[in-house]
Structure 1
Amino acid sequence: MINLQNAAIFMNGGQAFKSIDIKVAAGECSVIFGGRGAERSALLECFYNPDLVTDGTYSNCARRVGIVSLREQERLILREETRDDSDLTDQIFPGTPVFDLLEETSLDKDLLAHLIDSLDLNSLLGKGFRKLSSGESKKIILARALSIKPDLLLLEDPLEGLDSLGRTQALGLIGDLSKSVTKIYSLSRVTDIPENTNKIFFLDSNSVVREFVCQSGVQARYMVSSITKIESREVVLPPPAEKRSLPTNPDGSLVNIRNATVKYTENTVFENLDLRINPGSHWQIKGPNGSGKTTLLNLINGDHPQSYVNNICVFGFRKGEGETIWEIKRNLGFVSNALHWDHRISVSVINVIVSGFFDTIGLYSNTSDLHYKLAYKWLELLGLENERDQRFTELSFGQQRLILICRAMVKHPPLLLLDEPCRGLDDADRQLVIALINRLCADGDSTIVYVTHDLEDEISFISNSLELV
């Protein structure tokens, strides 16, 4: 029904979005969430007023578009001001009567009567629009939007300003709409996400729209609240258990690979590869399957035999000159699909995170109250504190991946290697993982090397990129 491609949106004299892509199919119930209220309003408004889209391509197949928004209320108020002739008549203008406002949009008298009864508007029909309370105005705007029999309904915080009875009435009318009616909400509260939501457009602080599909309102509310909490600057990343000096090479880098080559008898994975990773310089490693992305990470962490025949310096050690694997791992966090599958063990969620202090799968070392206190804070960051004693294998696949990233981060390693952390995740869980990685890039003290072959999984906070072919 709606298709925005590479679109720029302007509103109130400024650019709200530089380049966005959005698709909404007929009959979907979508929610715009996150970002600033003005950005959400601009995105919703462009579906009603296509003149706001100045670049890119835009199409909207809806024949009748109903809208409930502050912008629509503003349009009615401005129109009332133009009708005010009190300066000429010396009489106070109360505003257009409610019945006239409803009748001018109505396409069906029986439907209008139903809307009036359902929203308890009979006592307001003779009242001027200017005399209405904010809640009464919201009801009138909703009734006008529904009276045109819309095939696209745009709803900006439709329950805001309504009392509990009004909320029940509004929810009932919206819920009674045919499933063929496409609905797009712009919401500021997680609790207002409707039960039949099947798509979320989540705006981040850079006005980037992230889209994910969900199966129900329950899942949508959980995903949005989790992402919001992870990305909130009010939730501080837990501190390390101990302060360590930064283990750098003589040139100041964490990793310095020079002219590296990995080959087998009849296959060269890559050759003449150079990579220098400085503290705080996050990297994305991209490339198709088989290009050597995982091989490169294994050269760094010492899990590849050819790491010792190449010129590789990591944390002040040159590979193959006497360092132990534990001297490397104590400064390293690592997450991969292989590691995930190795965690098919009966261990509690919190113990999985605590094991990150010791780089073990399971707990085999003495732990302290501090270890558990810090692990619990990571669970709070994820909104999973109630699952602390649950078995790790009983979590969803996406929740398990989040726990493993926290396990890798719990010791605040100088270097965090993430080998396709979104692989195997559904759309919603992928957004949770990306939100956590973005947060670690923005506020964490670990340098992140992030591997992906999917353009949709790129991390906006990472500017350095190495592409393998």
Structure 2
Amino acid sequence: MQQTQLVNVKASLKGQGNDVYCVDNLSMTVSASQHWVLLGANGAGKSAIAAVIAGFATIEQGQYTNSFERVALVSPDRQKQLLAEELNKDQDDIIEGVSSFSRVSDLILAGRSPQQIDNQLLNQLLGTFDFESKLHKAFRDLSTGETRKLMLIQALIGQPELLVLDEPFDGLDVAAMTELNHQLAKLSETTTMVFVLNRLSEIPDCVDHYAFIKDGKVTHQLAQPSAEQRDDLLKLLHLTHTDLEIPEADSDHQAPPLIDPILVKLTNVSVSFGGKAIFEKLNWQINQGEHWQLTGKNGSGKTCLLNLITGDNPQCYNNDIKVFGYQRGSGESIWQIKQHIGYISNALHMDYRVGTSALNTIISGFYDSIGLYQKASDKQLAIAKNWLALLGLSDKQNSSFTQLSFGDQRLLLIARAMVKHPNLLILDEPCLGLDEANRQRVLLLIKKICSAKTSTVIYVNHHASDHIAGIAHYLEMENDIKKAP
């Protein structure tokens, strides 16, 4: 029988930069036709164990055997590596004075000869993920969700016998999640699968083996559990926190008073790239205290729209946009705008690659910097420590940001966005990569911020289950239709 077997395995694997993740004394067996889900808190070691199972680690001790011939791994770490490789390639091209970039089609087919490609399956997957029109795009022009779709297509056309999927649904819109679930249901008949999932609602019906991970070890394994056994295991992840309080602001480094109750006003705004319209004649007004939820498919222009507000899209100067009392293009500086804004997005997360401590990551939010380059005041240190305690990360205050798990990094960046109590808090899929307990904590925090009325919130989200009480305004971006019911 085909299987991956680990007996008292000690292994190490490289992350971004020089970071190394270690797994010790790991024992488990994944056999053909089994479908596993690895569960646990942020930082428990789920992603590292998944990579070990897939054979993407250096085995230093113990016994590791793998009789699966074709193995594929899709994970946030692999996505980061792919993005970093493309970034490095761009930098090399600039140095050499050339201009080249990887196209989507090149990356999908990379490492495979024409004889190894099942064209019927490829065309099916391109249709499933609505990717036919993106084959000739530059990879760097893809959105986060589109990048994840590319990796899934790349993995599936190899027809793996063992497929390891670490947070495969993160960043995908509802339609893409539905299509992926349908594809996984068909694959379950022929392919052994291992999932790393933080959202319990995303566990596929085919899963019949559960493993709970803590401190890099498998503490519980259940094979075809009864409903009662399954519920007992899942209770480990359903932590409730009812005593959360938002730490105070630093009066010396908080958002300045507003001079206009209209925070953002976009009038007949249009954006296009490469001759293609992203959206046209969009009107949107955000008043102080009005909390908004922004939705739409991958590639519909949500992040582009947010970048117009923050000033990170140069087309903000070609349009009629007023933010925090400033008419765009009237001589205002970008920092006059950003001092009013707290921001968390997947792009920011990918860009935040400095080795500063967890404590200083939060403090950097007072200065809107990536990394901390100023001496923090005693009050800022105290506030940042309160945020760490609130998020359950006090024991990691001196840990390097780059050495923390993806979920812990995301929690720190959310605190960084909130720490100065901004007039406008932009949360672009803030729950991406968070386990069930931390997701609930973040949702509760956002709810408290909305009810406190110190910050106006723009909340980008694909999951209906993550609706925030207090958000009563909606902007939907779908196809070329923008709705604000």
TM-score (normalised: structure 1): 0.51
In the alignment, the residues of structure 1 paired with residue 428 and residue 319 of structure 2 have an alpha-carbon distance, to the nearest angstrom, of: 21
CA deviations 1:79-128 (Å, max 9, x no partner) are: xxxxxxxxxxxxxxxxxxxxxxxxxxxxxxxxxxxxxxxxxxxxxxxxxx
Q: Which has the bigger relative contact order, CA under 8 A and spacing at least 6?
A: 2
Q: Which residue of 1 aligns with 2:476?
A: 467
Superposed CA RMSD: 2.9
Q: Rg: which structure is higher?
A: 1
Is the partner of 1:453 in helix, strand or coil?
Answer: coil
Deviation at 1:444, TM superposition (A): 5.6
**Within-5 A mapping of 1:170-249:** 181-183=226-228, 197-200=232-235, 217=236, 220=237, 224=239, 227-228=240-241, 231-232=242-243, 235-242=245-252, 245-249=256-260
Q: Which residue of 2 aligns with 1:311?
A: 320
Deviation at 1:178, TM superposition (A): 11
In the alignment, the residues of structure 1 paired with residue 225 and residue 368 of structure 2 have an alpha-carbon distance, to the nearest angstrom, of: 53
CA deviations 1:191-233 (Å, max 9, x no partner) are: xxxx983335xxxxxxxxxxxxxxxx3xx2xx61xx50xx536
**Within-5 A mapping of 1:242-391:** 242=252, 245-249=256-260, 252-391=261-400
Deviation at 1:427, TM superposition (A): 4.7
Q: Which residue of 2 aligns with 1:401?
A: 410
Inter-CA distance 244–402: structure 2 relative to 1 (3 Å threshold): closer
Indicate if the aligned counterparts of 1:401 and 1:433 stay in contact, CA closer than 8 A.
no
**What is the number of equivalent residue pairs in this alignment?**
259
In the alignment, the residues of structure 2 paired with residue 285 and residue 367 of structure 1 have an alpha-carbon distance, to the nearest angstrom, of: 34
**Counterpart amino acid of 1:420?**
E
Deviation at 1:426, TM superposition (A): 4.8
Inter-CA distance 429–370: structure 2 relative to 1 (3 Å threshold): closer
Indicate if the aligned counterparts of 2:255 and 2:423 stay in contact, CA closer than 8 A.
no
**Counterpart amino acid of 1:246?**
P
Inter-CA distance 270–393: structure 2 relative to 1 (3 Å threshold): same
Indicate if the aligned counterparts of 1:238 and 1:374 stay in contact, CA closer than 8 A.
yes
Is the partner of 1:197 in helix, strand or coil?
Answer: helix
Is the partner of 1:399 in helix, strand or coil?
Answer: helix
Structure 1: segments with no counterpart, 5+ residues: 1-27, 29-174, 185-194, 201-216
Indicate if the aligned counterparts of 2:255 and 2:421 stay in contact, CA closer than 8 A.
no
Inter-CA distance 355–428: structure 2 relative to 1 (3 Å threshold): same
Is the partner of 2:411 in helix, strand or coil?
Answer: helix
In the alignment, the residues of structure 1 paired with residue 226 and residue 255 of structure 2 have an alpha-carbon distance, to the nearest angstrom, of: 58
Inter-CA distance 359–245: structure 2 relative to 1 (3 Å threshold): closer
Structure 2: segments with no counterpart, 5+ residues: 1-36, 38-219, 479-485
Deviation at 1:306, TM superposition (A): 0.7
In the alignment, the residues of structure 2 paired with residue 388 and residue 241 of structure 1 have an alpha-carbon distance, to the nearest angstrom, of: 23
In the alignment, the residues of structure 2 paired with residue 178 and residue 287 of structure 1 have an alpha-carbon distance, to the nearest angstrom, of: 38
Question: Percentage identity across aligned positions?
Answer: 45
TM-score (normalised: structure 2): 0.49
Is the partner of 2:228 in helix, strand or coil?
Answer: strand
